[in-house]
Amino acid sequence: MRVLALDLGDAWTGTAMSDPLKIIATPYKSIRTEGLMVFLHELFEKEKIDTVVVGYPRTMRDTESDQTKKVLAQKELIEKEFPTKKYILWDERLSSKGARAIQGKKAKTQGDNEHSIAAAIILQTYLQFLN
């Protein structure tokens, strides 16, 4: 079984997946958030995924923002649509900044890849916690 990570955003959602041993996170795809449910239906049919890690956007002062509330609402919708999966909220602070640093100058030409890299950073920290 694999673990899927979601970096939920208003326009784009980044995804990343673990290997079957749940050791390594790999960026998967960045998709338009409006098409997320269709994407997840297709992915869950194709891949054996038991856990979904959702990036939890807290402020640096560890408080909730408007984005936190949006992510929690989206997570609730996903949980209702796919109730057999286990869901984990995982701190995503600085993941986007880390993704931009990893991408460097490529960021302007590769656009939405930043979101899947951020999802991989979120997932890798979760996998390290597990191990």
pLDDT, tens digit, for every residue of 31-75? Answer: 999 999 999 999 999 999 999 999 999 876 777 778 899 999 999
Q: Which two tokens stand for residue 73?
A: 């609402």
The arithmetic mean of pLDDT across residues 65-93, rounded, is 94
DSSP secondary structure string, 24-74?
Answer: -EEEEEEEEGGGHHHHHHHHHHHS-EEEEEEEE-B-TTS-B-HHHHHHHHH
Q: Please say if the pLDDT value at position 92 is more than 90.
A: no
Which CATH number describes the domain made up of 2-130? Answer: 3.30.420.140
Rounded Cα gap, residues 49 and 11, in angstroms: 24
> What Rg value do the Cα atoms of the chain yield, rounded?
14
pLDDT in tens, 17-42: 999 999 999 999 999 999 999 999 99
85, 62, 30, 32 alpha-carbon torsion, rounded to 10°: 90
Domain boundaries, the chain: 2-130
Rounded Cα gap, residues 69 and 75, in angstroms: 10
Q: Please say if the pLDDT value at position 109 is more than 50.
A: no
Single pTM value for the model = 0.85
* CA nearest to 7, candidates 131, 100, 83: 100
